[in-house]
Amino acid sequence: QLHIDINRDAEQQFEQILLGLGAVSVTLSDASDQAILEPGVGQTPLWNQLTLSALFPSDTDTDTILLQLCAQTGASLPTWRWETLEDEVWETRWQNDFKPLQCGRRLWICPSWCEPPRPDAVNLQLDPGLAFGTGTHPTTFLCLEWLEGLVLEGKT
């Protein structure tokens, strides 16, 4: 996997070239801890400085990729590095990033692949996804705390 630190204005050019050189995926991440808040409708903001990560097959000639990238962009490369990734079961690798989340005093959101940390608590088994996510978004978290504070005993 090739990691390159670039300016936001160069992102599309670098992404297209790397895909053309055989990258199987390209990922963008923040290179300088710049906060991006909720975007407006139809907006896709990018950080001013970003790290572009391009995943290549393991038999890729890395020197050729770098030479071609320089030739096609007409510039010397900014900060870059190659990383060899270990073979993993990528379909489930993302699950390592999600752990049970405590919301309030006794409410926990627990992914199905994790044991609840407190079996006596109110444990909501919910897998992260696009519809709900992980419960870490501030508005979701506040709603969960509010729900936890409701007195529901004797009510249906």
Model confidence pLDDT, tens digit, residues 58-103: 999 999 999 999 999 887 777 889 999 988 887 788 888 889 989 8
Residue 80, both tokens: 């870059």
Instruction: Give me the percent of the chain exceeding a pLDDT of 90.
Output: 40
pLDDT at 155 over 80: no
pTM of the model: 0.61
What is the average pLDDT across 27-49? 80
What is the DSSP-derived secondary structure letter of residue 7? E
Residues of the chain with CATH 3.30.70: 2-87
Distance (Å, rounded) from C-alpha 135 to C-alpha 142? 9
Write out the CATH class of domain 2-87: alpha beta
Question: Of 68, 67, 50, whose CA–CA distance to 12 is shortest?
Answer: 50
Distance (Å, rounded) from C-alpha 69 to C-alpha 80? 12
Q: Quote the pLDDT of residue 124.
A: 86
Distance (Å, rounded) from C-alpha 131 to C-alpha 142? 17
DSSP sequence for 20-76: HTT-SEEEEEESS-----PPPTT-----SEEEEEEE--TT--HHHHHHHHHHHHTS-
Distance (Å, rounded) from C-alpha 59 to C-alpha 50? 26
